[in-house]
Amino acid sequence: MSAAALETPIYLDHHATTPCDPRVLDAMLPWFTESFGNPSSATHRFGWAAEAAVEDARERLARDIGASDSREIVFTSGTTESDNLALQGVVRAAGGPASGHVVTSAVEHPAVLDACAALERDGCEVTVVPVDGGGRVDPGAVAAALTERTRLVSVMAANGEIGVLEPLAEIGAVCRERGVLFHTDAAQMAGKLPLDVGALGVDLLSMCAHKLYGPKGVGLLYVRERSPRIRLEPLLYGGGHERGRRSGTLPVPLVVGFARAVELCLEEMPAEVERITALRERLREGLADGLPDARVNGDPERRLPGNLNVCIPGVEADALIAALKDVALSAGSACASASGEPSHVLRAIGLSDSAARASLRFGLGRSNTPEQVERVVQRVLEEVGALRERSPGAGRRLSGN
């Protein structure tokens, strides 16, 4: 095996996960060894110290997302659990699935869509509103879908495949006017762009640490405490932790790391947004110059700074990714990549199955450099050329959606 093959690939899959920042790890380490107490142990100083660390992290995270009360933060194992707790918790606490109705969008993460499907099997009515060709939900379509039975609207903040930002404030205003709760999965937006639950009119919000340079295995669900105060049926029982909303011993090191990771993102956000946007544009321009028939999927302006999802006619994305052994990329959501089906997000914005299979996602992040972007452009152009030579005419077959 060559020395080049042993080198660590350039990592451009930051929507799937991010490396834990060394500063976050430093904050976590003492809570693994020196201060290892259970935050629920109320009879000695080890437990008291752990509880104080958790509550400090809870207060900091509440402040960072604009929550008015730290009690509105419920710690979970990650965004998937938070999404399920929001959807199933609200519907089951409000009379059960058989009497409920949920509105969501066609481009949601599987954690939301599968939770909706589970509720639907139990008798809940689910309305999936479409998106436009750029991947954005029309607030008017949400308003039209609402009924007297609607318990919850769930629309993500930013799409993990095409990076498109949804009009949360407008949807939040619709929901507030109609007296319907509004949930958003903000896993991809958190840490990358400002997030304020009050300004957005959000009643419930899911996010996690590992998408923003924190540890895997911890997330949160923001649950508004007043105007309105939200009732949730828990998914997990056994101990009544998190004020009865989520039982289970809290992972103190992960909670501490979560709060530190968010703070670092906020501190560095202005400069990082500018830097990563410039890298994305250089990547887009380089690919466009070498591949004039390539096209960007999703709204070209209202998107995450580090996201670029591109359809390259004549090339199967899986084949291109396999050829790019020195670049870590994906064709879409890591949580759905094993299905083998074309992306439901790309199909929802109007791409054919063949065009969807010719699309791949670049996810730029904190560790990427201009030199890496230049190298990636060079390597993509090389491998696309080689693949097209082996399959001439494929580009013409994919010239349209």
Distance from C-alpha of 363 to C-alpha of 378, rounded to nearest angstrom: 17
Given the DSSP bridges, would you call strands 150-154 and 101-105 parallel, antiparallel or unpaired?
parallel
Q: Which of 30, 329, 109, 61 is nearest to 218 (CA)?
A: 61
- Of 115-124, 221-230, 317-326, where does mean pLDDT reach its minimum? 221-230
> Is the per-residue pLDDT at 34 higher than 70?
yes
Burial of 230-260, coded b for 16+ CB within 10 Å and e otherwise, reads bebebeeeeeebbeebbeeebbbbbbbbbbb
Helix or strand or coil: residue 269?
Answer: helix
Q: Which of 234, 198, 261, 200 is nearest to 90 (CA)?
A: 234
pLDDT band at 1 (very low <50, low <70, confident <90, very high): very low
Q: Which of 179, 140, 137 is nearest to 156 (CA)?
A: 137
Q: What is the pTM of this model?
A: 0.94
The H-or-E segment that residue 10 falls in is strand 10-11
Q: How many residues does the chain have?
A: 401
pLDDT at residue 338, rounded to an integer: 53
pLDDT at residue 398, rounded to an integer: 43
Sign of CA dihedral 70, 74, 76, 79: negative
Per-residue pLDDT tens over the stretch 164-199:
999 999 999 999 999 999 999 999 999 999 999 999
* CB neighbours of residue 8 within 10 Å: 7
Given the DSSP bridges, would you call strands 10-11 and 327-328 parallel, antiparallel or unpaired?
parallel
Active site residues: 335
What amino acid is encoded at 158 in this protein?
Answer: A
| Helices marked H in 227-369 | 252-290, 317-323, 344-348, 353-357
> Is the per-residue pLDDT at 79 higher than 90?
yes
Question: Who has greater pLDDT, 4 or 198?
Answer: 198
Q: Which of 333, 310, 332 is nearest to 380 (CA)?
A: 310
Residue 27: both structure tokens together: 């904050």
pLDDT band at 361 (very low <50, low <70, confident <90, very high): very high
Per-residue pLDDT tens over the stretch 283-316:
999 999 999 999 999 999 999 999 999 999 999 9
Region 220-245 average pLDDT: 92
Domains and CATH numbers, the chain: 9-18+269-394 (3.90.1150.10), 22-263 (3.40.640.10)
Q: Residue 51 in contact with residue 240, Cβ under 8 Å?
A: no
pLDDT at residue 390, rounded to an integer: 85
